[in-house]
A = this chain, B = another copy of it.
């Protein structure tokens, strides 16, 4: 197959790689019908996860059409169109049953989502079947494989409730969908911390009531001013850096929760602030399969349009350009169409 491949730090190609194969009887192979680039793909791309030992496929967000199933897959057939959660799970182990599919004992991940084909472990547990979508429906549906449930997980973990005030730290696609998710969960006031005009605009479209463009101490002071010095009822940390985490804990009200979903990179948590405030930390890797039953209907009936985060579309063969656009923050999120 042809697949987006990380050859080395900052070097993406679209080239021939071995087809994925059924490794376990519960696996399925899908033909990718829509894909995209994730902010977390930029970590290995930039070399922040260390050197690239050998060329490897990259990409973990996709919609697919099943082309092969293992002998123990019971609920899906060749030809089914499916949402592929980036985190695969059996959905039957003790952790899955407790809603922690991200800790499934049979956990696996999509690893060639920006290629022509991708393997899904635990097909019965992971996949969700949908009707064959029209091209115009692809972006909203594709967002269900990671970025929307991840933003939702931040809001959910932060404990956003009806009538509450939520702050969203980070204006990447996850942060923007965190805004949308805070809205879904009933937040009355949603303060988006964003410096970029196009992202501010999308944040408002998704439900942000206030924008704070300043960062660091100045931005924190602005949020505290807006909340009469009390702080926010819930904070969504959607970046994954130490600075974002410090801001999150400085603006959350005592006893309230910071929901975090950014893959932590060099984060040292401000434990002293957390101790004094009794500010809680919750969240982490999103259990996508857990949230799909709540989010898919909202997409299907048009209540929400998470696909608005895609502001650039390229064929997979140009994924290197997509990485460049996201790396330089020219694009919020790049949608990739299959093939050349």
Q: Which residues of A are interface residues toward B (Cβ below 8 A)? A: 94-95, 98-100, 102-103, 157, 228, 230, 253-255, 260, 263-264, 267-269, 271-272, 274-285, 287
Contacts and interface: CB of A to CB of B under 8 A. Distances in A.
Nearest to A283: B278
Q: What secondary structure prevails in chain A residues at the interface with B?
A: mixed
A253 B281 CA distance: 16
A106 to B, nearest CB: 13
Given A230-B95, A280-B282, A282-B280, A275 B263 contact: yes
A280 B95 CA distance: 15
From A228, A255, A263, A268, residue with most partner B Cβ within 10 Å:
A255
A287 B280 contact: no
Contacts of A254: 95, 98, 100, 102-103
Contacts of A260: 275
A274 B285 CA distance: 9
A185 B100 CA distance: 24
A26 to B, nearest CB: 20
5 smallest A-B Cβ distances: which pairs?
A103-B254, A100-B254, A275-B284, A100-B255, A278-B284
From A269, A274, A282, A284, residue with most partner B Cβ within 10 Å:
A284
Contact of A95 (B253, B264, B267, B271): B253
Contacts of A98: 253-255
A272 B282 contact: no
A60 B124 CA distance: 58
13 contacts: A94-B228, A95-B230, A98-B255, A100-B253, A100-B278, A103-B255, A103-B278, A263-B275, A264-B275, A267-B271, A274-B284, A276-B285, A278-B285
